[in-house]
Amino acid sequence: MKKSLLGFLMLCSVWTFAQEKSTLAKPNYQLAAKYSPSRLSTMIYSTEVNPNWINFGEKFWYEYRTSAGKKWYLVEPASRRKQELFDGSEMAAKITSIVRNPFDAQHLDIRNLRFMEKDENLIRFEVQSTLDTVKSKEEIKKLTNKSDTIKKKLFHFEYNINTKNLKEISDTTKEKGRVFWANFNPDTTKVFYAKNFNLYWMDYANYLKAQKDEKDSTIVEHQITTDGVQYYAWGGDEYSVTSGDKKSEDEEKKKRKPVWINWSPDGRYFTLTRKDNREYNALWVINNVGGKRPTLETYKYLMPGETDSTEVELYLFDAASLKPRQINVAKFKNQTISTWSKDRSKANYKGKHYINYWLGTNEEFYIARSSRDLKRIDLVAVNVNGSTRTLVEERSNVYLDIKKPQFINNYSQFIHWSQRDGWGHFYLYDNQGKLINQITKGDFHCDELTSYNENTGTLFFKANGVDKKLDPYYTHYYSVNKNGSAFKLLTPGDFDHQVLASESGNYFVDNFSRVNTAPVSNLYSASGQFIMKLEDADLSQLMASGYKFPEPFKVKAGDGITDLYGVMYKPFDFDSTKTYPIIEYVYPGPQTEAVNKSFGRSMDRVDRLAQMGFIVISVGNRGGHPSRSKWYHTYGYGNLRDYGLEDKKVVAEQLANKYSFIDIDRVGITGHSGGGFMSTAAMLVYPDFFKVAVSGAGNHENNIYNRWWSERHHGITEKVNSKGDTSFNYQIDRNSDLAKNLKGKLLIVTGDIDNNVHPANSIRMVDALIKANKRFDFLLLPGQRHGFGDMTEYFFWRMADYFSQHLLGESKMNEVDMTEMNRDKPIKR
């Protein structure tokens, strides 16, 4: 009897296992390959209208691509008129007759289209041909291989919209673009730049020579400063790297580079900041595949809690004498100085040259001054005589954010953004720093102030969470009077709205969608009046391929109170009778959350991974996105390793309770950068729940990640001793501290020259796992920086293999060739 019972139980166990195996989805490599980036480019066309406002006016043009090809449009909002810039068939015929390469309306390859400033009926553009021609003398001068003198001819055209006349023009008539290093003074007689870590200027005539040929030996330059050195420069050493190759480093020093100069409106003064970073410790990466010899890259890198012995210096230069005077703005130890410039507008141009004016008047300019722990931020007015006055003080027990103020009414008042009541809102001040009134108020987050109408006293801005019935991450556009009255929604609809307004603010283009709707682009007036539909995105080819929209969802956080918002991605061949492992794609923030809110073309990490046979979700967590309350955003302050993990666990559990097709015993997790750090942490904090992780470029040891991100979001303790000396202490939990907890399958991936999240983060994690006697997997991507570059596709398939093998029980890990990648490669002829 006992033997019969034992046999029956064993039979039941085998039957249950077989049934589970039969209902579990199988990896579908073919379906995932169908949605590679190269194939998606043939199925997804334009998804938004990017208006090119003509000469800072209210007319604009844009280009838009559909399955019928690309078209160019001119829009005149005042007359509610939209028309094609030209007839595609006629233009193709005219271009073909001149270029001698065949074109048709569907395959026009027009480049660098722009309207002429002096005659808005004229547009110019270029078309590439297959005709061989000799490079110009200037181009040949720049060549390292002097025998490479042949190029494909680029034809230059001018087209009259009214007369429909097209003519070829010489490339010498093409407007020269602004040289990237040039900073013009307000009367455009001089150009300022950095070279060899010092400040230089040249006159306009010599600038024209440099614009034509950077290496022209007759260019006359004037050196302003002489004491600039690398890492204590007047300009030109941002992200400065040494390679060990003295010849190339010397050549790099001689190159002209941009310098961040802000000018007074009358051109009498300009400002510049400088900091001595020479005592910062260095970091290194070795590029093993970049050239004949492996090369060593050296760069300065300040880690959290490290001593910073110097301070930012603010200088005011007299434009006539070119003599600098240091302005004392010191208040906090290791403070940060933000020097603001005016918003880009037509008023900032002198002719065709942009002037970088400071935010302020001839006598006074405005800066922000932030403590190292970011708990204290001041808005400061600096007079050209060197005196300063504090206009606004922001104080908090957690880190603060700051935005550039909007000065109005001829600088007699300004609009200040603050989170002092727990939400991002606007406040009106006079120019003496006296609060006049709070403009916006309530349980919602105001974000970018896009424009201000002086005549009506109206603010136009973006905000989240005003309508409690909608996803708080959906951005909407609003207007409000500066006294707080007439609060108005300008972009209604249950969508995420991305608004692009004209300089005047009189019109705006609204690109709106959700993850489960096709994008639409409409044109509105400043009052929110609908003017016309511009475009409906063409998703016909994508849908014909079998694509299905993902599903947004809302659940509760680990506290049972906080609402979390996410998106679920299913395989397009989803079968409700089968069971699927669940994979979470994560990024903890806190500066953002990796949850798509609008339709987009970046699908590798979610849609495409789901096609392998998984339910993939992305969801927010407490301590994530800044566009909710300050409480939500700073929830993880002081606990940067673990703060979001509970929410990731309970979300998967809630979804599995709701949907029987989710196999809660097969949970995977993946992410990149902060998501790489979080996915590994999840495996170590909840080792019995998360079974498999693929962690890309993770900052597993935030004590060796950069100072600014780590100190900001985790916090640093400032201590002042009895002598008044200030020091900083930083302590944080690391993933490597929990290496002994690993139970599941973990793949750690990093690029070997990642100079953002240094490879040491991953290597130290590997070291800890080895010392804990753990089996795991490690992939090093040679010659790759933080984003994995041209190995991104390779990484995707290694990730797909890993999850398939360990969550579905089978994969192509035993096959050598990645046939899915090889199929997408063009055949060499």
Reported confidence tier of residue 122, pLDDT bands at 50, 70, 90: very high
One-letter amino acid at 168 equals E
**Average pLDDT of span 550-567:** 97
Residues 73 and 209 in one domain: no
Domain around 652? 16-42+542-697+787-824
| pLDDT of residue 19 exceeding 80 | no
Residues 113 and 209 in one domain: no
**14 or 387, greater pLDDT:** 387
Residues 547 and 664 in one domain: yes
pLDDT on residue 14: 46
**Triad 28, 537, 574: Cα angle to 5°:** 25
Q: What CATH number corresponds to the domain at position 800?
A: 3.40.50.1820
Query: Are residues 64 and 71 in contact, defined by beta-carbon separation less than 8 angstroms?
Result: yes
Residues 642 and 577 in one domain: yes
Residues 550 and 581 in one domain: yes
Residue-wise pLDDT for 144-166, tens only, equals: 666 677 889 999 999 999 999 99
CB neighbourhood size of 155 (10 A):
18
**Percentage above 90 pLDDT, the chain:** 85
Residues 105 and 192 in one domain: no
**Alpha-helix residue ranges (DSSP H) falling in 699-813:** 707-714, 760-771, 792-803
Residues 168 and 118 in one domain: yes
In a domain, 21, yes or no: yes
In a domain, 760, yes or no: no
Cα separations in angstroms, 816 against 86, 798, 819, 828? 52, 12, 9, 22
Reported confidence tier of residue 15, pLDDT bands at 50, 70, 90: very low
In a domain, 294, yes or no: no
pLDDT on residue 445: 98
**Average pLDDT of span 513-537:** 97
pLDDT on residue 173: 66
- Tell me which of 347, 370, 401 is where a domain ends: 401
Q: Where are the beta strands (DSSP E) in 515-579?
A: 520-525, 530-536, 551-556, 563-569
Residues 21 and 82 in one domain: no
- Tell me which of 401, 429, 453 is where a domain ends: 401
**178 or 352, greater pLDDT:** 352
In a domain, 406, yes or no: no
pLDDT on residue 175: 65
Residue 536: which region, alpha, beta or left (left: phi > 0; alpha: psi -120 to 50)?
beta
In a domain, 674, yes or no: yes
526: tokens are: 């400043």
In a domain, 389, yes or no: yes
**Percentage above 70 pLDDT, the chain:** 94
Reported confidence tier of residue 244, pLDDT bands at 50, 70, 90: confident
Residues 546 and 668 in one domain: yes
- Count up the domains in the chain and report the number: 3
Residues 167 and 187 in one domain: no
Average pLDDT over the chain, rounded to whole?
93
pTM beyond 0.85: the answer is yes
241: tokens are: 């790297």
Phi (first) and psi of residue 753, to 5 degrees: -125, 35
654 SS3 class: helix
Reported confidence tier of residue 757, pLDDT bands at 50, 70, 90: very high
In a domain, 744, yes or no: no
**Average pLDDT of span 281-291:** 92
pLDDT on residue 178: 74
| pLDDT of residue 254 exceeding 70 | yes
| pLDDT of residue 388 exceeding 90 | yes
| pLDDT of residue 17 exceeding 50 | no
Reported confidence tier of residue 594, pLDDT bands at 50, 70, 90: confident
In a domain, 302, yes or no: no
User: Which stretch of 14-28, 264-278, 648-662, 757-771 has the lowest confidence by average pLDDT?
Assistant: 14-28
pLDDT on residue 252: 87
Nearest residue to 114 (alpha-carbon basis) of 61, 50, 51, 164 = 61
Torsion of CA 53, 55, 58, 62, to 10 degrees: -30
In this structure, the chain runs to a length of 829
Residues 661 and 599 in one domain: yes
One-letter amino acid at 812 equals K
Full strand arrangement of the beta sheet holding 313-318: 262-263, 269-274, 313-318, 324-327
- Tell me which of 401, 431, 451 is where a domain ends: 401
Q: What CATH number corresponds to the domain at position 265?
A: 2.140.10.30
Reported confidence tier of residue 243, pLDDT bands at 50, 70, 90: confident
How far is residue 519 CA from its own chain's centroid? 21
117: tokens are: 């400033």
Reported confidence tier of residue 591, pLDDT bands at 50, 70, 90: confident
Q: What is the 3-state secondary structure (H, E, C) of 17-41?
A: HHHHHHHECCCCHHHHHCCCHHHHC
Report how far residue 99's alpha carbon sits from residue 155's, in angstroms, rounded to the nearest whole number.
Answer: 7
Cα separations in angstroms, 755 against 242, 658, 707, 789? 13, 43, 14, 13
Q: Which residues of 330-365 are buried (b: 16+ CB within 10 A; e: fewer)?
A: eebbbbebbbbbbeeeeebbeeebbbbbbbbbebbb
Residue-wise pLDDT for 430-442, tens only, equals: 999 999 999 999 9
18: tokens are: 């077989």
Residue-wise pLDDT for 41-94, tens only, equals: 999 999 999 999 999 999 999 999 999 999 999 999 999 999 999 999 999 999
Reported confidence tier of residue 141, pLDDT bands at 50, 70, 90: low
CB neighbourhood size of 647 (10 A):
25
Residues 69 and 32 in one domain: no
